[in-house]
Structure 1
C-alpha cells in the first residue's frame, strides 16, 4: 500500500461500534434484493456480502421500510423489517453473519417513507401522503396530509423494525432521511411543511418526527445501539420541481445552509450518532444523484461545514472515488468516513485493491447511472452498467472452462475488450484484432469532454486488464474473411462497432461528424451548429460551449434527448438545463436543407431560416458496421455478433451482452 493511504484504513467509531477502515458502502435503493416476505433474497445477500468481501468497513443496505399501515409498499419492493419479523430476522441473520466474517459492519437503512416523491411506477394507492396538502413531485396531483396518529404509528414501527434488525445481527441503523426531500425531510422543510400542530412551524417542531424516531429506537434497542441520519445540508430548490445548477445564483426555497447547520446540531442533540451528509432534493436531484456533469467531491464543502458544527462522525459521498481526494477529505477534516455508492457497484473490491496498491485495477464508475438509478426508475432493479455482476453475483459467476478455446475477437471497443477479459479470466485463449492504434472504441471520442474523464479511465482500465491477463492485441489490423477462414480459431466474436451516419449538405468541406471534432481531427471554428439533439449531440455542444464557442443545436423532433434509451432522470434533467444555462440555442421540429457560404439553411414551420456558422457537426446517430459478420455467418460454426455491430445502443448493453456471451463460450 502507498503509505499515505494508511490514514484511510485507520479505525473509526460510530457510537460504540468500531469500523475497521474509513470506507462505507453508501446506501442505494435495494430494488430487486428483497423477497415477497420483506426479507433479503439470495441476490441481496450475495450483493452485500461481496462488498464486505471486497474490504468495505461499513455496509449500508439502502432504503428499507418498517411501516406497513400508512404508506403501503408493493411486495417485493424493498425489504421490510416488520412485515414478517421472523423471516426478516432469519434472512438478515444469514447476511450479517457472513458480512461479519470479513470484519465489516452493517447498518440497516430504515425509511419513514417517500411521501410526495414516490415514483409513479412504484405508486400503489393514490394519493400519497405528505406533511401537508402539497404538490406531488412527478404528478399533477395533491398529496394527503398525514394524521398525527399515523405519524405515531410510523414512529412505533421504527422501534419494532430496529429491534428486529438488532436481533438479525445488524450493528446499527441509519434513518432515511432528513435528506433529498423524502417524507421525513418534507416534515423538516418549511416549504413542504405547512402544518400548525406540534409537527409544524418552528424548526424544532419540524424535526419532531425525526426526534421521536431516534428516541423510540434508543428506548427499544438501548443507548449503545448506533443510529445515524442521512442528512442534506442544503436543498438547492429554486421553486417547485425546479432545482439550481452548480454555480447558479438563486434564492433557496428549501433548507438553506444556516438552517441546515442548526438542524444538524439538533439532530445530534436528539441522539443521532452520525450524520451522512449531502445536498439536494428530488426537485434538484442531480445533486443527490450526481451525473458526470457534476464535479467530483461535490459534497466536500458542505460536509466540512457540518463536521465543524457537530461532535459525531460525518460521512461524505458524492463522486469520491479518487483515492487522493478521499485522503484529502480525511486529512483536512472534511469528514470521518468516505462513502462510495456507485464506485462499489462498479468494483466491489475497490477497498482491497487500494490497500494492496492496485489502484490501476479498480474498475471506474462512469456516472452514467444507466445500470443503477436508470434501472431502478424503469425496472425496479439495481445493477451497474460497467459491472454486469453487480446484484447478480451468484447468477453471473464465472463459468469454469472444460476445454479451452482459441477465440478470435475482431474489434477492440468496449464489447471486444469485455469479451476478451471474461474469456481470459475463465481460461480461454482470446486474441484481439483492432484496426486502429488503440483500444476503447467509442469511449475515446465519448471521453473527450472534460466531464467524461471516467470514460477515458474505463478505456485505460480495459487496456490494463488485457495486459495483466496476457491477451494478445494486434493493432492496425483489419480482419478479412480470408484471414478468418484460413486461421484455426475455435470461435469468432465480431465486435466491429458502428460508423456515424452522414449526409451531404453541399459545402461538405466544413461538415464534420461529432467524432471528428471530439477526437480533435477537425476544428469547428468559433461558431458551429450541431445537427442532432441526442445525447452525443448535446454533450458535444456543451463541451464546445464551455470552450467559449457559439453553439446552436438543430433537432428534427420536438424536444432534445428524445431518441435515446431511457436515461436516468437526474442525468437527463441536468443536461436539459445545462444547455440553455451555457447559452446554447436550440431549434426543434426543424429540417436542415443545405449548407454553403457559411450559412446553414433550416426549415422551421414552413419557413426557411439561415444560420451563420463556421461549421456544421453531424450527430444524427450511428449505424452498425457488421459487414464482416455477414460475410462469415454461414461459414464459421461458432460466431457471435456483439456491441454496436449488433445493435447501436449504450455502453451498458455492449458490456452486458459481451459478458453474457463470453461467460458461456
Structure 2
C-alpha cells in the first residue's frame, strides 16, 4: 500500500464505538437490509452487498436508508418483528469482518419524492387516488414542512405535515432504533438534515413557513431532528451512537434552482453562518457524528456529483464545519482517497465517505490496500445504473419501474445487485469464440467468456482497443472514463485474451471455429438532407482531434452534444446549441443530477441554446435554422459539429450474436449488461 494512504487505515471512535479504519460506505437507496420500495423484509441481496463491502476492508458500513414509514404499502418499519430477528441472526457473521454497521433511518422524502408519470395519474384522478392509497398514499409520503411544489412534478403538490404526524414519526424512529439495537446493530444514522429530504425541509427557510413550534425561529426549524435524537437516546441509552447525515450548505437559489461551484448567489437554504450554529446545536442535542456533504434535490449535483463536478467538491466546507464541533465528521462526495487521507492526517476530517465506487467494485478498498489500484474497476459517475431518475420539460421522471425498484445497480458492473441473473458459471463445453469489434462491448464479452473457460478471440479494425469509447472518453473532464478504458485493456492482458489489431473483418470473411459475436458499434446519423451538411464536423471526429473554430454551432442537444458544448466552453471557445426538442438532454437514463448541472451551467455562462429549432442549411460562416414558429434565423459560426445521434452498424453474418450499439444504440450500461448476458448464453 502507498504510505500516503495509511491515515485511512487508522482506528477512530464514534461515541463508545471503535471503528477499525476511516473508510465509510455511505448509504445508497437500493443497498438496503430491510427492503427498498417494497414490503419490508430482511433483504438477502442487500445483505450480500453489505457483506462483500465489509469483507473487503470497509470500516463503517451504512446500508441504504430505511424509511420509518414505507412509501410502498404504508407500513411502519417497526411493525415487522421477523425481519429484525433475521437481521440479528445475520449480524454475527457480519461482525467477523471487523466492520461496524449503522442502519440509516429516514422520515422520508417530502417534496423531493420522485414522481413518475404513473404517480401523476394516480394523484390527479380522484378515483385512482382513493383506490391507490393502500399501496401508495402520495398525499402522505410527499407531505412536507409547508405547502410546496414537488421537485419533479407540478401535478403532485406537497401539503403541510401535521403536528400529530410529526410526533408519530418521532415515536417511530425511537421504536425502530430500539429494535435495531436489540438486533445487535452498532449504531443508527438519521437521514437527514441533508440533501433537501423531509427533515431538511423543516430546517430550510425557503420551504418551511410554519407558524407553530416547528417553524419560524432557528430552534423551531431544527426541532424535528432534535426530538428524534432525544427520543432515540431516551429509548436506547445515551451510549448508543446516533449519526446524522448532514448538508453543510444547501447550495440552492430556490425551488428547482441550484448553485454551481464558484457561482455568486444568494443562499435560499442553509448558509455557512447558519451551519456553524446548527452543527453545535445538533451535537448538543445528542448526535454523535456528522456525515456530511452539500446540496439539496434542487441542487442535486452536490450530493450526487456527476463527472462535471470537481473531485472532493464538498471537502473544503466539511473541513471548515469540523472546527465547530467536538464529535467526528465524515466527508462524502466524489472523494479521492489520497486527498481524504491527507485531510484525515491533518485532523481536518475524521472519516471519508464513498458510495458508488463500491457498486462498481466491492473489492476496491482491498485492492487499494494491496497496492493493486490498476485492478480497481472505476465508477465513472454516470448514474446510469444506480440513480437514473431523469427529468426534462414536460416529463416528471422518465424511468423504468424496474429501475425505480432496484436503484443501486451499476452500469459498469453487471453483477452488482443482480447476482440472480448475472453470475459466472463455467462453460460445459469450452469453445473458441470470435468477437468482431474491440470496443467496450467486445471486451466485456471477451472478459466474461474467458472467465467461463471459453477461448475468445477479438478482431479489431484499429490499432488499439476501445472503439467509439475512445472519443466518448476524450473530453478533458472524463478521466474516470479513460480509467475504465484502461481497466478493460488491462483485463484483456491479465486474462490472456487473444487480440488481433488492425484486422478489419469483411462481410465475406468466415469463422469456422465456433460462435461469432459482432460488436461493431454504430455509425453517425448524417444529415444528408441538409444543404451543406458536408461542411459539418461529426461529433466523434471532433472528439478524436478534428479542429473547430472559436464559435461553434453544435447541432443536437442530447447528452453527447451538450457534453461537447461544455468541453468547447472549457476550451475557451463559444458554443451555440441547436436542439429540435423543447429541452436539452431529453432522454431516458440520464440522471437529473447530471442533466441539471449542464442545463444550469449553460444558463449561468450564457451559452446560447436554441430549443425547438431545426437545422435547414450549413453555409460558409453560418447556419440557417427554423424556429418553432416557422421563422428562419441565421446563426454566425466558424464551425459546425453534428451530434444527431447514431444508428446500428452490424456486419451481416448469419447466426452471429449482436452486442452493444450494433444491435440497439443505447448507453454504456446497455452495452456492458448486454455483452455480459450474451457471453453467458454461449
Give the shorter-chain TM-score range. Answer: over 0.9
Q: Deviations over 1:486-541 (max 9, x none)?
A: x42x2211101111122345556642101111111x11111111111111111101
1:524 aligns with 2:524: no
Taking a change above 3 Å as real, the CA distance of residues 178 and 526 of structure 1, as seen in their structure-2 partners, is: same
Partners of 2:421 and 2:681 in 1: how far apart? 12
Q: Is contact 1:81-1:164 (8 Å) kept?
A: no
Q: Is contact 2:524-2:538 (8 Å) kept?
A: yes
1:144 aligns with 2:170: no
Taking a change above 3 Å as real, the CA distance of residues 75 and 351 of structure 1, as seen in their structure-2 partners, is: farther
Partners of 1:133 and 1:508 in 2: how far apart? 51
1:30: which partner in 2? 30
In structure 2, the gaps of 5 or more residues are 120-135, 391-396
1:633 aligns with 2:654: yes
Q: Is contact 1:353-1:359 (8 Å) kept?
A: yes
Q: Deviations over 1:613-632 (max 9, x none)?
A: 22111110111110x2x2x2
**Quick one: which of 455, 460, 475 aligns to 1:449?**
475
Q: TM-score, normalised by structure 1?
A: 0.93
Structure 1 residue matching 2:388: 3-state secondary structure: helix
Moved more, 579-588 or 449-458: 579-588
2:129: which partner in 1? none
Q: Deviations over 1:253-294 (max 9, x none)?
A: 111011011111111111111100111111111211111111
Q: Report deviation, 1:180.
A: 1.0
**Quick one: which of 135, 146, 157 aligns to 1:132?**
146
2:668: which partner in 1? 651
Q: Report deviation, 1:240.
A: 1.9
**Quick one: which of 268, 274, 283 aligns to 1:268?**
283
1:171 aligns with 2:169: no
1:663: which partner in 2? 680
Q: Is contact 1:37-1:83 (8 Å) kept?
A: no
1:12-161 alignment to 2 at 5 Å? Answer: 12-30=12-30, 34=35, 37-67=39-69, 73-75=71-73, 81-85=77-81, 87-121=82-116, 124-126=137-139, 128-140=142-154, 142-161=157-176
1:438 aligns with 2:464: yes
Q: Report deviation, 1:593.
A: 2.5
1:577 aligns with 2:600: yes
Structure 2 residue matching 1:592: 3-state secondary structure: strand
1:565 aligns with 2:563: no
Q: TM-score, normalised by structure 2?
A: 0.91
Moved more, 245-254 or 498-507: 498-507
Q: Report deviation, 1:3.
A: 2.4
1:213: which partner in 2? 228
Q: Report deviation, 1:327.
A: 2.0
Moved more, 639-648 or 474-483: 474-483
**Quick one: which of 525, 548, 572 aligns to 1:501?**
525
Q: Is contact 2:32-2:63 (8 Å) kept?
A: no
In structure 1, the gaps of 5 or more residues are none
1:593: which partner in 2? 616
Partners of 2:510 and 2:285 in 1: how far apart? 71
Taking a change above 3 Å as real, the CA distance of residues 73 and 570 of structure 1, as seen in their structure-2 partners, is: same
Q: Is contact 1:565-1:649 (8 Å) kept?
A: no
**Quick one: which of 565, 568, 572 aligns to 1:541?**
565
Partners of 1:347 and 1:31 in 2: how far apart? 14
2:339: which partner in 1? 325
Structure 1 residue matching 2:62: 3-state secondary structure: strand
Q: Report deviation, 1:37.
A: 4.4
Q: Is contact 2:206-2:254 (8 Å) kept?
A: no
Partners of 1:23 and 1:117 in 2: how far apart? 29
1:468 aligns with 2:491: no
Q: Deviations over 1:96-137 (max 9, x none)?
A: 333222221111100122222222247623263222233333
Partners of 2:277 and 2:465 in 1: how far apart? 52
**Quick one: which of 531, 537, 540 aligns to 1:515?**
540
1:612: which partner in 2? 636
Q: Deviations over 1:390-425 (max 9, x none)?
A: 112344221122232211111111111111111122
Q: Report deviation, 1:443.
A: 2.0
Partners of 2:223 and 2:617 in 1: how far apart? 64
Structure 2 residue matching 1:372: 3-state secondary structure: coil
Q: Is contact 2:623-2:634 (8 Å) kept?
A: yes
Taking a change above 3 Å as real, the CA distance of residues 37 and 547 of structure 1, as seen in their structure-2 partners, is: closer
1:350: which partner in 2? 364
1:237: which partner in 2? 252
Partners of 2:432 and 2:342 in 1: how far apart? 46
Taking a change above 3 Å as real, the CA distance of residues 305 and 80 of structure 1, as seen in their structure-2 partners, is: farther
Partners of 2:110 and 2:638 in 1: how far apart? 51
Partners of 2:221 and 2:32 in 1: how far apart? 33
Taking a change above 3 Å as real, the CA distance of residues 344 and 327 of structure 1, as seen in their structure-2 partners, is: same
**Quick one: which of 353, 360, 365 aligns to 2:374?**
360
1:284 aligns with 2:285: no
Q: Is contact 2:465-2:489 (8 Å) kept?
A: yes
Taking a change above 3 Å as real, the CA distance of residues 132 and 557 of structure 1, as seen in their structure-2 partners, is: closer
Structure 2 residue matching 1:219: 3-state secondary structure: helix
Structure 2 residue matching 1:163: 3-state secondary structure: helix
1:298 aligns with 2:313: yes
Taking a change above 3 Å as real, the CA distance of residues 437 and 334 of structure 1, as seen in their structure-2 partners, is: farther
Q: Report deviation, 1:356.
A: 0.8
Partners of 2:454 and 2:55 in 1: how far apart? 26
Taking a change above 3 Å as real, the CA distance of residues 613 and 39 of structure 1, as seen in their structure-2 partners, is: same
2:124: which partner in 1? none
Q: Report deviation, 1:341.
A: 0.7
Structure 2 residue matching 1:261: 3-state secondary structure: helix
Q: Report deviation, 1:435.
A: 0.9
